[in-house]
Structure 1
Amino acid sequence: MDKKEMILVDSYASPFVQLVIEKNQSQEVFPVIDQLLELLRETDLTNFLTNIAVPKVQKAEIFHKILPTGSELLDNLLRVLMQNHREELLEAILKESLSRLEVETNSFEVTLESAYALSEEQIGRLLPLVQEKMGLGVRKLNQVINRDLIGGFVITANHKQMDVSIRRQLQTMKEKMK
């Protein structure tokens, strides 16, 4: 993305995030943005929206099919993008908005890697510890199974990582023995 596009993305994402924060609607907006980004990932929608050969009318039709999203603020953002013929910026604006909202609310998507799936009870005991140790709220949890960890887990959120896996402990022991 070039500088001009970054400025355009910012010009839409910044007021949208401010409005979400002012109206205290981040918890309603987070899952809708996640769903839209998942839709963009699963389909080739971003390439369709950025394709200059696709008429604006067809791009607008896609937005009409997405509406309503379940969030009035997000619906308004989509309508503004349609009116200004900026459909191609949808993914970038959603990603930027999500990133800013996470920082503003200190609520982040957390990835939990473990050798085996954790039960709901285990997750329930673990999340408060994660919030305390990492100093952040958990807005969404993604469990990833990684048999290479042997046991324990690795938690990643907001560019921070907490690694209490057996693999890491073995590596540390190996380094100390050198």
Structure 2
Amino acid sequence: MQNPRLASRYAKSLVDLSSEKGQLEAVHTDMQFLQQLSKTNPDVVALLRSPIIKPDKKQQILAAIFDGKVSAITAAFVKLLVVKGREGNLPEIAQEFSRQYDVLKNISKVKITTAVPLDAAILDVIKTKVQAGTDKKVTLETAVNPDLIGGFVLESNNNLFDASVLRDLNDIKKQFAENIYVHNIR
């Protein structure tokens, strides 16, 4: 994140305004759309951060992209960012908005990474187990990484639980590299 303080302040302002207007859910949906757009389309991020493209041209392009896809509050917010010269921070602001929304709504995000895709029944069991330890609502995000070989990696609230075969193999490799028993033979 380039400027976390700036992203936090703008996101907080947007959370407060959208809550006051009763459109928090709509703006949250818009921010998820903006996050997805910035992840999947690097040209939009390049447009936002380009010092060569004039602000009025950026405003026209962004208005064409967001036309009918975002709420009026989000459109006005993006326009304000362009006027203030902060449009390059829009992906970070959208991410920070989602984080503040989760705190406000008491939602905990959990990411589980496995070697193969999991079916819905297993995901429901995992979600139930994770939610049993907390009073927060849990949203589960899944990822697949074949390098894990087996097991899983669970990330939640800046905690990491690595129960993968890859981690076990790396631990064994490290133990053999240290070879703590060699000095006892002599």
Q: If the length of structure 2 is used for normalisation, what is the TM-score?
A: 0.71
CA distance 1:48–1:70, change in 2 (3 Å): closer
- SS across alignment from 1:164: strand
Displacement after TM superposition at 1:112 (Å): 1.3
2:47 corresponding residue in structure 1? 48
CA distance in 1, matches of 2:119, 2:167: 22
2:67 corresponding residue in structure 1? 67
1:33 corresponding residue in structure 2? 31
Displacement after TM superposition at 1:138 (Å): 3.1
2:123 corresponding residue in structure 1? 123
Aligned residue runs from structure 1 range 51-130, under 5 A: 51-65=50-64, 66-130=66-130
Gaps of 5+ in 1: none
Cα distance per residue 1:69-99 (max 9 Å; x no partner): 3444423422433454543332232122222
2:145 corresponding residue in structure 1? 146
Greater Cα shift, 25-34 or 110-119? 25-34
Contact 1:13 1:96 (C-alpha < 8 Å) held by counterparts: yes
Root-mean-square deviation over aligned CA pairs: 3.3
Contact 1:69 1:75 (C-alpha < 8 Å) held by counterparts: no
- SS across alignment from 1:54: coil
Contact 1:134 1:160 (C-alpha < 8 Å) held by counterparts: no
Q: If the length of structure 1 is used for normalisation, what is the TM-score?
A: 0.73
Contact 2:59 2:79 (C-alpha < 8 Å) held by counterparts: no
Larger Rg belongs to? 2
